[in-house]
Amino acid sequence: MENKSCNAPDADRQTLGVRAKLGYGVGDLAINLFFQSSIIFLLYFYTDIFGISAAAAATLFLVARLVDAVTDPMMGAIADRTRTKWGQFRPYLLWGAPPLAVVTLAMFTAPELSESGKLVYAYVTYILFSIAYTVVSIPYSSLTAVITDNSHERTVLTAYRMAFALLGGIIVGVGTQPLVTLFGGGALGFQITIGLYGGIAIAVLALTFANTTEKALAVSQTAPTIREMLSVLSGNLPLWLIIIAFFAGMLAFTIRSSAVIYYFSYNLGRADLFPLFMLAILASQFMGILITPWLSARLGKKRTYISGAALGILSGFALYMTPYDALGAIFVLSIVGSLCFAAPTVLGWSMLPDTIEYAQWKQGVRADGAIYATASFFQKLAMAIGGALAGLVLAGSGYVANETQSPEALNGILAMVSLIPVLALMMGTVAIWFYPIDEALHVRMRAEIKTRALAE
């Protein structure tokens, strides 16, 4: 993975050791135990286990995201102002993990309450989960920019991160249903399973804390003012193009992930194949993640991103036209799509730190936390809209939990695993087409930033 043949020359290449890459990357396994559980199973848990209607769950996902309009920028500002002997971002991984584990467990608990009581409980626990997740996820993502300032190394580091994120996804996607059954099924099975995931995540995030190092330059800077942070955000075109791509990608991912379990249970009538399907698509994405740094070093980030997205979009259209009894074709098309979309997944996170340096180059202000918080907010907004849209499609098409579904409901579920995600991804790909930072410009930006720093 340590390929030296990047498109642009880079005399200051800082090659990270395997320990640093593994130490950082494994943290996303922990975060994805929480994230994937909420994306893949929470809507299903609400409708088929807890007994909340699909329409009520849709409203919940959307309304709760209003909290992030406050908490995400607040967390970004707090992180940018944090100065400890452990760094700006690492302490939040250590101390934020236990509360996140507790509220995730509460979110997947189904107390015996009235219909209105269930809604209140769901709102409270889901909002607390959103806040706790923000406290951990924004500092974790921000670490990419302060562990290394080398563009290619960021791609490699992000590939490690995404590989472990997929491992977390495999654990959740493949292991949850069998574990829920093992632990008694229903609400109790979910509660014990999510509690187990939480314990693992706490231990893994402690490993990330212990095995990562923040660059002294990032920690010793003067904290940016609120006005400077707003200026960094408003004058940063590359950032907003990445955010559009992030938003579109997360919207597609949320809708599709929320619908897949319904697709296998009702459209295909093969709920037993769901764990195998999750293993297949996540394993293929893992392979895509492994080859993305190699492709990026030869084609550049932008070309690799667009090529992967275009092939994935074609596979989505093909899936929509595939009959339900063609299980082999459904698996193959889904595997191909997952393999192709590995590149946009890795490169989006690899390109985001470059926008931090773009702002520093253009405006002389570095605001890692504010930029990651803004990206996180729009990702969560996409999660909210995606989760709400999934619930609304189910409700609008006449979905009834645990019953044989109407043709309209089956068509709605099919659209959520194929056409709707494809349309979202097309929007994100167009945004990346206009992204201006290539490898040569990034080298130039870094050189000029360092020259200014030496002159001060």
Contact 96, 31 (CB under 8 A): no
CA angle 39, 43, 44 (to 5 degrees): 110
Dihedral sign of CA atoms 389, 390, 394, 395 in order: negative
pLDDT, position 222: 61
Query: What does the DSSP 8-state code read for residue 46?
Result: I
- Nearest to 140, CA basis, from 106, 187, 89: 89
CA atoms within 13 A on the CB side of 164: 20
Helix %, strand %, coil % of the chain (to 5): 80, 0, 20
- Residues for the chain: how many in total? 456
pLDDT, position 170: 87
Contact 175, 40 (CB under 8 A): no
Backbone angles phi, psi at 91, to 5 degrees: -60, -30
Dihedral sign of CA atoms 156, 157, 160, 166 in order: negative
Three-class secondary structure assignment of 279-297: HHHHHHHHHHHHHHHHHHH
pLDDT, position 440: 85
Pick the CATH number of 18-455 from 3.30.450.20, 1.20.1250.20, 1.20.58.390, 3.40.1710.10: 1.20.1250.20
What separation in angstroms does the CA of 384 have from each of 130, 389, 418?
Answer: 11, 8, 19
SS3 14: coil
pLDDT, position 371: 82
pLDDT, position 321: 94
CA angle 423, 265, 32 (to 5 degrees): 65
Neighbours of 418 (CB within 10 A): 24
pLDDT, position 391: 85
Find tokens 């997944």 and name the residue: 345
Structure tokens belonging to residue 258: 């929320």
pLDDT, position 369: 72
Q: Residue-wise pLDDT tens for the chain (456 aa)? A: 333 334 444 434 457 788 888 999 999 999 999 988 998 899 889 988 999 988 888 888 888 777 766 777 788 778 777 787 888 889 999 999 999 999 999 999 999 999 899 999 999 999 999 899 989 998 998 888 788 777 678 778 888 888 898 889 889 988 998 999 999 989 999 999 999 999 999 999 999 999 888 874 444 456 666 677 777 777 789 999 999 998 998 888 889 988 998 999 999 999 889 889 988 988 898 888 888 888 888 888 889 999 999 998 999 999 999 999 999 999 999 999 989 888 888 788 788 888 888 888 888 787 777 787 788 788 878 877 888 888 889 988 988 887 888 999 999 999 999 999 999 999 999 999 999 988 888 888 888 888 887 776
What's the distance, CA 202 to chain centroid?
19
CA–CA separation, 127 vs 133, rounded Å? 10
